[in-house]
Amino acid sequence: KETFARPMAGVLTQPLSFVGLPVLTVPVLRPGQLPIGVRLIAAPWREDLVLRAGFALEQDGIVAAPVASAFANGSIDESKAN
């Protein structure tokens, strides 16, 4: 029997996707602490709004995600991928 480590992981995200709301989750930087995830939600068919808001938050330095060294140059560096 297959079991999942986090059986309730989608309980808060799946309903939003099911009703057609575009969602973007971004990590909020908190120096010296674990990051928290913030979910941006827009009206149906307004993916442009969540992407624009996420980009603005990134430009202001509020949100960011570290890039793994294997992907830092924009493509996969096979020597660092393993």
Q: Ranked by mean pLDDT, which of 17-21, 41-45, 69-73, 77-81 comes out on top? A: 41-45
Count the neighbouring beta carbons within 10 Å of the beta carbon of residue 50: 20
Q: 9 in a domain, yes or no? A: no
**Domain annotation covers residue 50:** yes
Residue 80 covered by a domain: no
Cβ-based neighbours of 57, under 8 Å, separated by 6 or more: 26, 63
Residue 12 in domain = no
Does the pTM exceed 0.85?
Answer: no
pLDDT level of residue 29 (50, 70, 90 thresholds)? confident
User: Which domain does 55 fall in, by range?
Assistant: 17-71
Task: Give residue 49's pLDDT.
Answer: 97
- Residue 2 CA to residue 22 CA, distance in Å, equals 30
- Residue 47 pLDDT greater than 90, yes or no: yes
Distance CA 22, CA 51 (A): 9
Contact 82, 68 (CB under 8 A): no
41 is a domain residue: yes
Q: How many structural domains does the chain have?
A: 1
Q: What is the pLDDT of residue 45?
A: 94
